Amino acid sequence: MVNCRFTVAIHVLCLLAAQQPQPLTSELIAGSVNTNPVVIRRLLGWLRKAGLVKSQPGVSGGWELVAKPESITLGGLYQIVRPGTVFAMHSQQPNVLCPVGRNIQRGLGIHYQKAQAALEAELDHTTIADVLKDVLGTSS
């Protein structure tokens, strides 16, 4: 159950891209994702702060894309919905009296950064437009 924000974000952006320029309500989107509308509004709130979507309250309101689907990369989206890092350091600080404990986090940092950069670089090869094409092109 944990950590499906990224997947849901892609799902929602694909929906908005598919129905462009029609605004979609959080309730309708929640029906496709199979969750609660408030979950969708919370997620789209983050995406709005990042400039990807806009919202319109009131009758016949809803959510629309602002950015072009071809310009939204999965890597960029990942950074928005998951600002933390893939890897976590120790929950408690290790023992500073041990040479390994004292220096391990400094030693690991650079390797973690490089690995995460490789992940995001690979994700950057794909855009919402690509995913939408894959999804709608599937034969069922």
Phi and psi at residue 22, to the nearest 5°: -75, 135
Binding track over 64-103 against DNA, x by CB under 7 A: --------------------x---x--xx-----------
Could you tell me the smallest distance in angstroms from the CB atom of residue 137 to DNA? 27
Nearer to DNA by Cβ, of 60 and 138: the residue is 60
Instruction: Choose the one of its own copies, DNA, none that binds residue 113, judging by a C-beta under 5 to 8 angstroms depending on kind.
Output: none
- Spatial distance between the Cα atoms of 71 and 77, rounded to a whole number of angstroms: 11
Q: Which of residues 46-75 bind its own copies (CB under 8 A)?
A: 74
Work out what residue 21 binds among its own copies, DNA, none; the CB cut-off runs from 5 to 8 Å by kind: none
Binding site for DNA (CB under 7 A): 1-5, 8, 24-27, 35-39, 41-42, 44-45, 48, 55-63, 84, 88, 91-92
